[in-house]
Amino acid sequence: SFETGIYQLGGIGLFLSSNDIQLGRGEPMKDTARVISRMVDMVMIRTFEQSKLDEFAKYSKVPVINGLTDSYHPVQIMTDYLTLLECRVTDPIVAYVGDGNNITHSWLMLSAKLGFELRVATPKDYACDSAIVNEALEIAKSSGAKISFSHDPKEAVEGANVVTTDTWVSMGQEDEKEERIKAFSGYIVDSNLMELAQDGAIFLHCLPAYRDYEVSEEVFEAHADEVFLEAENRLHTQKGIMVWLDNHIDEDIDE
């Protein structure tokens, strides 16, 4: 979606994996940043460790977009918020059911900054990162956001008007698949769980969705229009981010 957006905006996208550049041969991230940022107008990075992206951004001469890390997925959550607006959800009560991962962390930050209610239900051993939770709760003091945590999906979904989830096995966690499937038993978003939400509640999933694991086939297909609108909105959101950055290219922007 990023590459498509770049071309639609009249730019040229250059995809580089670690094997295509000197990072794959042990070059320090700060050196890679200082080389690449002299040749392009902005950089989008998808990586694992947040620290790698932070280091790249520190040494880059151009804006750096967090396309995904283990800690956050901000472009996805901005996409989700656009989808809420298009679905006319004006006063969100969001229930997140599943893994305390980068998507959950990003929902925490969005809720904390915009002031809407967020309820998170995760298994005990798969809770959100405590440092990120504490940061979000501190921000929420100013916005008035109500953020709660539990290990009970029913408690989270009761009365919500937005229900969302994510895969139980993220990239790089394939070796944990069987263990995770057992741990997340009972965290499937099915029709029984959705019945606890408000009438007309929407369902979101950032995809790919694994039917009858984190979401039932019935719920997914009943809310397919919302889910695929969400998928399309990645393109529009990311184009908006790139245009905004291009318009503010000479400003000192930290976040």
User: Cβ contacts of residue 240 below 8 Å, gap of 6+?
Assistant: none
- Unique residue bearing structure tokens 């901005």: 78
Distance CA(192)–CA(163), nearest Å, equals 13
Token couple for 18? 């670690």
From the CA atom positions of the chain, what is the Rg in Å? 19
Where b means 16+ CB within 10 Å and e means fewer, 72-103 reads: bbbbbbbbbbbbbeebebeebbbbbbbbbbbb
Distance CA 134, CA 247 (A): 33
User: Which positions are catalytic?
Assistant: 46, 73, 76, 166, 206, 234
Strands 162-165 and 93-97, bridge-based pairing: parallel
Collapsed DSSP state (helix, strand, coil) of residue 6: helix
